[in-house]
A = this chain, B = another copy of it.
Amino acid sequence: MSHNTFGHLFRVTTFGESHGPAIGCVVDGCPPLIAIEASEIQRELDRRKPGQSRFTTQRREADEVRILSGVFVDEASGQQITTGTPIGLLIENTDQRSKDYGDIKDKYRPGHADFTYDVKYGVRDYRGGGRASARETAMRVAAGAIARKVVPGLLVRGAVVQIGPHAVDRDRWDWDEVGRNPLFCPDAAMVPMLEDYLDGIRKDGSSVGAVVEVVAEGVPPGLGAPIYGKLDADIAAALMSINAVKGVEIGDGFAAATLRGEANADEIRRGNDGQALFLSNHAGGILGGLSTGQAIVARFAVKPTSSILTPRLTVDRQGHETDILTKGRHDPCVGLRAVPVGEAMVACVLADHYLRHRGQIGAVRAWP
Protein backbone atom coordinates (compact mmCIF):
# COMPACT_ATOMS: atom_id res chain seq x y z
CA MET A 1 0.00 0.00 0.00
CA SER A 2 1.31 3.38 -0.93
CA HIS A 3 -0.21 6.73 -1.67
CA ASN A 4 -3.53 6.07 -3.40
CA THR A 5 -2.91 2.51 -4.52
CA PHE A 6 -3.37 -0.65 -2.54
CA GLY A 7 -2.56 -4.24 -3.33
CA HIS A 8 0.30 -5.88 -5.18
CA LEU A 9 -1.11 -8.16 -7.86
CA PHE A 10 -4.73 -7.08 -7.43
CA ARG A 11 -4.12 -3.36 -7.31
CA VAL A 12 -6.66 -0.62 -6.72
CA THR A 13 -5.87 3.05 -7.34
CA THR A 14 -8.49 5.65 -6.49
CA PHE A 15 -8.76 9.35 -7.22
CA GLY A 16 -11.24 12.15 -6.75
CA GLU A 17 -12.52 14.65 -4.23
CA SER A 18 -15.93 14.88 -2.62
CA HIS A 19 -17.02 17.93 -4.61
CA GLY A 20 -14.76 17.67 -7.67
CA PRO A 21 -15.97 16.63 -11.11
CA ALA A 22 -15.79 12.90 -10.46
CA ILE A 23 -14.34 10.10 -8.40
CA GLY A 24 -12.87 7.01 -9.96
CA CYS A 25 -10.58 4.06 -9.63
CA VAL A 26 -8.42 1.69 -11.62
CA VAL A 27 -8.50 -1.99 -10.76
CA ASP A 28 -5.32 -3.48 -12.14
CA GLY A 29 -4.26 -7.10 -12.18
CA CYS A 30 -7.72 -8.60 -12.20
CA PRO A 31 -7.50 -11.98 -13.95
CA PRO A 32 -9.22 -12.32 -17.33
CA LEU A 33 -12.38 -14.22 -18.16
CA ILE A 34 -14.35 -13.19 -15.07
CA ALA A 35 -17.95 -12.23 -15.84
CA ILE A 36 -18.78 -8.80 -14.44
CA GLU A 37 -21.62 -6.38 -15.10
CA ALA A 38 -21.86 -2.75 -14.02
CA SER A 39 -25.07 -3.68 -12.25
CA GLU A 40 -23.17 -5.98 -9.90
CA ILE A 41 -20.89 -3.15 -8.90
CA GLN A 42 -23.86 -0.81 -8.62
CA ARG A 43 -25.62 -3.16 -6.25
CA GLU A 44 -22.74 -2.97 -3.79
CA LEU A 45 -22.51 0.79 -4.22
CA ASP A 46 -26.18 1.13 -3.37
CA ARG A 47 -25.57 -0.60 -0.05
CA ARG A 48 -23.30 2.22 1.12
CA LYS A 49 -25.19 5.05 -0.59
CA PRO A 50 -26.24 7.85 1.75
CA GLY A 51 -29.84 8.95 2.17
CA GLN A 52 -31.25 5.45 2.50
CA SER A 53 -32.57 5.94 6.01
CA ARG A 54 -32.77 8.65 8.64
CA PHE A 55 -29.60 7.25 10.18
CA THR A 56 -27.33 8.26 7.35
CA THR A 57 -26.59 11.63 5.84
CA GLN A 58 -29.45 13.00 3.74
CA ARG A 59 -27.15 14.02 0.94
CA ARG A 60 -28.27 12.65 -2.42
CA GLU A 61 -25.64 10.99 -4.52
CA ALA A 62 -26.64 9.16 -7.65
CA ASP A 63 -23.40 7.21 -7.57
CA GLU A 64 -23.89 5.69 -10.97
CA VAL A 65 -20.79 3.79 -11.91
CA ARG A 66 -19.46 3.42 -15.45
CA ILE A 67 -16.96 0.77 -16.50
CA LEU A 68 -14.54 2.53 -18.84
CA SER A 69 -12.11 -0.25 -19.72
CA GLY A 70 -10.88 -3.74 -19.04
CA VAL A 71 -14.01 -5.62 -20.07
CA PHE A 72 -15.26 -7.05 -23.33
CA VAL A 73 -18.47 -8.69 -24.42
CA ASP A 74 -17.82 -12.33 -25.20
CA GLU A 75 -19.58 -13.03 -28.45
CA ALA A 76 -20.30 -16.63 -27.75
CA SER A 77 -22.05 -16.07 -24.44
CA GLY A 78 -23.02 -12.42 -24.73
CA GLN A 79 -21.50 -12.01 -21.26
CA GLN A 80 -19.26 -9.11 -20.36
CA ILE A 81 -15.96 -10.50 -19.11
CA THR A 82 -12.73 -9.09 -17.82
CA THR A 83 -9.79 -9.07 -20.23
CA GLY A 84 -6.87 -8.86 -17.81
CA THR A 85 -6.28 -5.20 -18.64
CA PRO A 86 -6.94 -2.43 -16.11
CA ILE A 87 -10.56 -1.78 -15.26
CA GLY A 88 -11.35 1.92 -15.09
CA LEU A 89 -14.40 2.88 -13.04
CA LEU A 90 -15.93 6.34 -12.86
CA ILE A 91 -18.68 8.06 -10.90
CA GLU A 92 -19.42 11.62 -11.93
CA ASN A 93 -20.22 13.91 -9.03
CA THR A 94 -23.64 15.20 -9.99
CA ASP A 95 -24.02 17.94 -7.43
CA GLN A 96 -21.01 20.20 -7.54
CA ARG A 97 -22.65 23.58 -7.79
CA SER A 98 -20.62 26.38 -6.36
CA LYS A 99 -21.85 27.34 -2.95
CA ASP A 100 -20.85 28.87 0.31
CA TYR A 101 -18.73 26.43 2.25
CA GLY A 102 -18.87 28.73 5.22
CA ASP A 103 -16.70 28.11 8.19
CA ILE A 104 -14.95 25.00 6.95
CA LYS A 105 -13.10 26.99 4.33
CA ASP A 106 -10.98 28.76 6.86
CA LYS A 107 -11.42 26.92 10.13
CA TYR A 108 -10.01 23.54 11.01
CA ARG A 109 -12.72 21.17 12.19
CA PRO A 110 -11.42 19.26 15.24
CA GLY A 111 -11.25 15.54 14.63
CA HIS A 112 -11.12 16.05 10.86
CA ALA A 113 -8.19 16.08 8.46
CA ASP A 114 -8.48 19.81 7.74
CA PHE A 115 -5.47 20.79 9.82
CA THR A 116 -3.22 17.94 8.78
CA TYR A 117 -3.88 18.30 5.03
CA ASP A 118 -3.16 21.98 5.27
CA VAL A 119 0.02 21.56 7.25
CA LYS A 120 1.24 18.84 4.91
CA TYR A 121 0.29 20.22 1.53
CA GLY A 122 -0.15 23.96 2.14
CA VAL A 123 -3.46 23.76 0.30
CA ARG A 124 -6.62 21.70 0.56
CA ASP A 125 -9.87 21.25 -1.27
CA TYR A 126 -12.11 22.05 1.69
CA ARG A 127 -15.37 21.40 -0.17
CA GLY A 128 -17.04 18.52 1.63
CA GLY A 129 -13.74 17.34 3.02
CA GLY A 130 -12.13 17.03 -0.39
CA ARG A 131 -10.00 13.93 -0.71
CA ALA A 132 -10.43 13.08 2.97
CA SER A 133 -14.19 12.70 2.53
CA ALA A 134 -15.72 9.27 3.03
CA ARG A 135 -17.02 9.69 -0.49
CA GLU A 136 -13.74 8.13 -1.61
CA THR A 137 -14.87 4.85 -0.08
CA ALA A 138 -17.46 4.46 -2.84
CA MET A 139 -14.61 3.45 -5.14
CA ARG A 140 -13.38 0.90 -2.62
CA VAL A 141 -16.81 -0.68 -2.61
CA ALA A 142 -16.79 -0.74 -6.41
CA ALA A 143 -13.37 -2.38 -6.50
CA GLY A 144 -14.47 -4.82 -3.85
CA ALA A 145 -17.36 -5.94 -6.01
CA ILE A 146 -14.77 -7.12 -8.54
CA ALA A 147 -12.47 -8.58 -5.90
CA ARG A 148 -15.25 -10.78 -4.58
CA LYS A 149 -15.29 -12.61 -7.91
CA VAL A 150 -11.55 -13.27 -8.03
CA VAL A 151 -11.42 -15.88 -5.27
CA PRO A 152 -13.68 -18.82 -6.17
CA GLY A 153 -16.26 -19.55 -3.48
CA LEU A 154 -15.43 -16.50 -1.41
CA LEU A 155 -18.19 -15.00 0.75
CA VAL A 156 -17.45 -11.77 2.60
CA ARG A 157 -20.10 -10.30 4.88
CA GLY A 158 -20.13 -7.58 7.50
CA ALA A 159 -22.32 -6.34 10.30
CA VAL A 160 -22.41 -3.65 12.97
CA VAL A 161 -21.70 -5.33 16.29
CA GLN A 162 -21.66 -2.31 18.58
CA ILE A 163 -23.11 1.21 18.47
CA GLY A 164 -21.82 3.48 21.17
CA PRO A 165 -21.82 1.36 24.32
CA HIS A 166 -24.41 -1.11 22.99
CA ALA A 167 -23.05 -4.42 21.74
CA VAL A 168 -25.21 -6.97 19.93
CA ASP A 169 -25.97 -10.34 21.44
CA ARG A 170 -23.91 -12.81 19.39
CA ASP A 171 -26.25 -15.66 20.29
CA ARG A 172 -28.96 -13.94 18.24
CA TRP A 173 -26.69 -13.41 15.22
CA ASP A 174 -28.61 -13.70 11.95
CA TRP A 175 -26.85 -12.77 8.72
CA ASP A 176 -30.16 -12.42 6.91
CA GLU A 177 -31.23 -9.78 9.40
CA VAL A 178 -28.29 -7.54 8.46
CA GLY A 179 -29.86 -6.64 5.13
CA ARG A 180 -33.32 -6.07 6.61
CA ASN A 181 -32.58 -3.16 8.92
CA PRO A 182 -30.90 0.17 8.22
CA LEU A 183 -28.31 -0.43 10.95
CA PHE A 184 -26.59 -3.45 9.36
CA CYS A 185 -27.39 -5.13 12.67
CA PRO A 186 -27.36 -8.97 12.89
CA ASP A 187 -29.45 -8.97 16.08
CA ALA A 188 -33.09 -8.30 15.21
CA ALA A 189 -34.18 -8.00 18.81
CA MET A 190 -31.81 -5.12 19.38
CA VAL A 191 -32.74 -3.02 16.37
CA PRO A 192 -35.64 -1.04 17.91
CA MET A 193 -33.55 -0.02 20.91
CA LEU A 194 -30.62 0.97 18.69
CA GLU A 195 -32.91 2.99 16.44
CA ASP A 196 -34.24 4.88 19.43
CA TYR A 197 -30.73 5.47 20.67
CA LEU A 198 -29.57 6.80 17.31
CA ASP A 199 -32.65 8.99 16.99
CA GLY A 200 -31.62 10.61 20.24
CA ILE A 201 -28.08 11.13 19.00
CA ARG A 202 -29.40 12.59 15.77
CA LYS A 203 -31.79 14.97 17.48
CA ASP A 204 -28.96 16.18 19.73
CA GLY A 205 -26.97 17.04 16.61
CA SER A 206 -24.41 14.64 17.98
CA SER A 207 -22.71 11.47 16.73
CA VAL A 208 -21.49 8.20 18.10
CA GLY A 209 -18.96 5.50 17.28
CA ALA A 210 -19.45 1.89 16.31
CA VAL A 211 -17.71 -1.44 15.86
CA VAL A 212 -18.02 -3.38 12.60
CA GLU A 213 -17.24 -7.05 12.11
CA VAL A 214 -16.31 -8.58 8.77
CA VAL A 215 -16.33 -12.33 8.23
CA ALA A 216 -14.83 -14.00 5.16
CA GLU A 217 -15.75 -17.58 4.41
CA GLY A 218 -14.44 -19.82 1.70
CA VAL A 219 -10.86 -18.61 2.10
CA PRO A 220 -8.38 -21.26 0.97
CA PRO A 221 -5.74 -22.15 3.56
CA GLY A 222 -2.24 -20.79 3.07
CA LEU A 223 -3.05 -17.28 1.84
CA GLY A 224 -0.67 -14.65 3.18
CA ALA A 225 2.94 -13.68 2.69
CA PRO A 226 5.04 -13.78 5.81
CA ILE A 227 6.76 -11.90 7.34
CA TYR A 228 5.70 -8.41 6.24
CA GLY A 229 2.85 -9.26 3.93
CA LYS A 230 0.99 -11.28 6.54
CA LEU A 231 -2.67 -11.62 5.77
CA ASP A 232 -3.66 -10.09 9.11
CA ALA A 233 -1.19 -7.23 8.66
CA ASP A 234 -2.62 -6.42 5.25
CA ILE A 235 -6.18 -6.63 6.58
CA ALA A 236 -5.22 -4.36 9.47
CA ALA A 237 -3.79 -1.76 7.10
CA ALA A 238 -6.77 -2.05 4.79
CA LEU A 239 -9.32 -1.53 7.55
CA MET A 240 -7.30 1.15 9.35
CA SER A 241 -7.17 3.08 6.06
CA ILE A 242 -10.97 3.54 6.18
CA ASN A 243 -12.00 6.99 7.36
CA ALA A 244 -12.47 7.32 11.13
CA VAL A 245 -11.22 3.83 12.00
CA LYS A 246 -9.10 3.78 15.18
CA GLY A 247 -8.68 0.09 15.92
CA VAL A 248 -8.53 -3.30 14.23
CA GLU A 249 -8.77 -6.80 15.68
CA ILE A 250 -8.40 -10.29 14.26
CA GLY A 251 -10.26 -13.15 15.96
CA ASP A 252 -10.33 -12.59 19.71
CA GLY A 253 -8.29 -9.45 19.25
CA PHE A 254 -7.69 -7.46 22.42
CA ALA A 255 -9.57 -10.06 24.42
CA ALA A 256 -6.76 -12.50 23.60
CA ALA A 257 -4.50 -10.46 25.88
CA THR A 258 -6.56 -11.62 28.85
CA LEU A 259 -6.47 -15.31 27.97
CA ARG A 260 -4.16 -18.11 29.03
CA GLY A 261 -2.50 -20.30 26.47
CA GLU A 262 -4.76 -23.24 27.19
CA ALA A 263 -7.85 -21.22 26.33
CA ASN A 264 -6.41 -19.46 23.34
CA ALA A 265 -5.09 -22.50 21.42
CA ASP A 266 -7.47 -23.61 18.69
CA GLU A 267 -7.31 -27.37 18.86
CA ILE A 268 -7.31 -29.41 15.66
CA ARG A 269 -9.08 -32.58 14.63
CA ARG A 270 -9.49 -34.25 11.28
CA GLY A 271 -12.83 -33.48 9.68
CA ASN A 272 -15.07 -35.77 7.70
CA ASP A 273 -13.66 -34.30 4.52
CA GLY A 274 -10.19 -35.39 5.55
CA GLN A 275 -9.12 -31.80 6.06
CA ALA A 276 -8.07 -30.07 9.26
CA LEU A 277 -11.00 -29.26 11.51
CA PHE A 278 -10.42 -26.57 14.11
CA LEU A 279 -12.48 -26.84 17.29
CA SER A 280 -12.52 -23.09 17.87
CA ASN A 281 -11.44 -19.89 16.13
CA HIS A 282 -9.76 -17.61 18.63
CA ALA A 283 -7.19 -16.88 15.94
CA GLY A 284 -9.80 -15.49 13.54
CA GLY A 285 -8.69 -17.80 10.76
CA ILE A 286 -5.06 -16.66 10.61
CA LEU A 287 -1.94 -18.26 12.12
CA GLY A 288 1.56 -16.99 11.41
CA GLY A 289 0.07 -14.52 8.95
CA LEU A 290 -1.42 -17.31 6.83
CA SER A 291 -5.04 -18.32 6.48
CA THR A 292 -6.04 -21.58 8.18
CA GLY A 293 -9.04 -22.27 5.99
CA GLN A 294 -11.43 -21.24 8.77
CA ALA A 295 -13.56 -18.11 8.53
CA ILE A 296 -11.49 -14.96 8.76
CA VAL A 297 -12.92 -12.67 11.41
CA ALA A 298 -11.90 -9.02 11.63
CA ARG A 299 -13.39 -6.14 13.59
CA PHE A 300 -12.74 -2.43 13.44
CA ALA A 301 -13.70 0.51 15.62
CA VAL A 302 -15.11 3.64 14.01
CA LYS A 303 -14.92 6.88 15.94
CA PRO A 304 -17.85 9.30 16.02
CA THR A 305 -17.64 12.03 13.41
CA SER A 306 -16.76 15.45 14.72
CA SER A 307 -19.33 17.05 12.44
CA ILE A 308 -21.66 17.99 15.24
CA LEU A 309 -23.87 20.88 16.27
CA THR A 310 -22.03 21.62 19.52
CA PRO A 311 -19.35 24.27 19.02
CA ARG A 312 -15.77 23.09 19.49
CA LEU A 313 -12.67 25.19 20.03
CA THR A 314 -10.30 25.48 17.11
CA VAL A 315 -8.05 27.81 15.12
CA ASP A 316 -8.30 29.13 11.60
CA ARG A 317 -5.78 29.01 8.77
CA GLN A 318 -4.28 32.26 9.97
CA GLY A 319 -3.73 30.80 13.41
CA HIS A 320 -6.44 32.77 15.18
CA GLU A 321 -8.33 31.03 17.93
CA THR A 322 -12.04 30.56 17.24
CA ASP A 323 -14.72 27.91 17.46
CA ILE A 324 -16.77 25.93 14.94
CA LEU A 325 -19.94 23.94 14.73
CA THR A 326 -20.81 21.89 11.70
CA LYS A 327 -24.22 22.52 10.23
CA GLY A 328 -25.73 20.49 7.46
CA ARG A 329 -26.90 16.93 7.45
CA HIS A 330 -24.40 14.41 8.61
CA ASP A 331 -24.29 10.80 9.66
CA PRO A 332 -25.13 10.32 13.32
CA CYS A 333 -23.14 7.09 13.14
CA VAL A 334 -20.67 6.86 10.26
CA GLY A 335 -19.90 3.34 11.33
CA LEU A 336 -23.10 2.07 9.70
CA ARG A 337 -22.06 2.85 6.16
CA ALA A 338 -18.59 1.48 6.88
CA VAL A 339 -19.97 -2.07 6.70
CA PRO A 340 -19.84 -2.47 2.90
CA VAL A 341 -16.54 -0.59 2.88
CA GLY A 342 -14.99 -2.98 5.36
CA GLU A 343 -16.26 -5.95 3.39
CA ALA A 344 -14.78 -4.49 0.22
CA MET A 345 -11.38 -3.93 1.78
CA VAL A 346 -11.21 -7.48 3.09
CA ALA A 347 -12.29 -8.82 -0.30
CA CYS A 348 -9.58 -6.81 -2.04
CA VAL A 349 -6.88 -8.04 0.34
CA LEU A 350 -8.00 -11.63 -0.16
CA ALA A 351 -8.06 -11.28 -3.95
CA ASP A 352 -4.55 -9.85 -3.85
CA HIS A 353 -3.23 -12.64 -1.64
CA TYR A 354 -5.01 -15.27 -3.65
CA LEU A 355 -3.11 -14.15 -6.75
CA ARG A 356 0.17 -13.79 -4.88
CA HIS A 357 -0.22 -17.24 -3.39
CA ARG A 358 -1.07 -18.76 -6.75
CA GLY A 359 2.00 -17.10 -8.22
CA GLN A 360 4.39 -18.45 -5.65
CA ILE A 361 2.80 -21.82 -5.14
CA GLY A 362 1.28 -22.54 -8.53
CA ALA A 363 -2.03 -23.80 -7.30
CA VAL A 364 -3.76 -23.77 -3.98
CA ARG A 365 -2.73 -27.15 -2.66
CA ALA A 366 -4.96 -29.49 -0.76
CA TRP A 367 -3.83 -30.50 2.71
CA PRO A 368 -1.98 -33.84 2.45
A57 interfacial by beta-carbon distance below 8 Å: no
Min CB distance, A85 to chain B, in Å?
4
Min CB distance, A81 to chain B, in Å?
6
A301 interfacial by beta-carbon distance below 8 Å: yes
The answer to whether residues A269 and B315 also contact, given A70-B15, A367-B119 and a CB cut-off of 8 A, is: yes
Q: Is the CB of B122 within 8 A of A208?
A: no
A189 interfacial by beta-carbon distance below 8 Å: no
A50 interfacial by beta-carbon distance below 8 Å: no
- Once bound together, how far apart are the Cα atoms of A251 and B289, in whole Å? 25
Q: Is the CB of B11 within 8 A of A5?
A: yes
Residues on B with beta carbons closer than 8 Å to the beta carbon of A3: 11, 28-29, 86, 225-229
- Once bound together, how far apart are the Cα atoms of A84 and B118, in whole Å? 10
Residues on B with beta carbons closer than 8 Å to the beta carbon of A115: 268, 276, 287, 292
A272 interfacial by beta-carbon distance below 8 Å: no
A90 interfacial by beta-carbon distance below 8 Å: yes
Min CB distance, A145 to chain B, in Å?
17
**Whose C-beta in chain B lies nearest to the C-beta of A322?**
B268
Residues on B with beta carbons closer than 8 Å to the beta carbon of A270: 315, 319-321
Residues on B with beta carbons closer than 8 Å to the beta carbon of A159: none
- Once bound together, how far apart are the Cα atoms of A26 and B69, in whole Å? 14
Q: Is the CB of B110 within 8 A of A267?
A: yes
A211 interfacial by beta-carbon distance below 8 Å: yes
- Once bound together, how far apart are the Cα atoms of A4 and B288, in whole Å? 13
Q: Which of B66, B131, B165, B362 contacts A226 (CB 8 A)?
A: B131
Most buried by B among A224, A262, A307: A262
Residues on B with beta carbons closer than 8 Å to the beta carbon of A177: none
Residues on B with beta carbons closer than 8 Å to the beta carbon of A235: 240
Min CB distance, A320 to chain B, in Å?
8
Min CB distance, A149 to chain B, in Å?
14
Q: Is the CB of B207 within 8 A of A72?
A: no
Could you jot down 15 A-B contacts, CB within 8 Å?
A2-B8, A17-B85, A24-B26, A83-B131, A111-B283, A164-B259, A208-B260, A248-B248, A256-B301, A256-B302, A262-B308, A264-B303, A264-B304, A282-B303, A358-B359
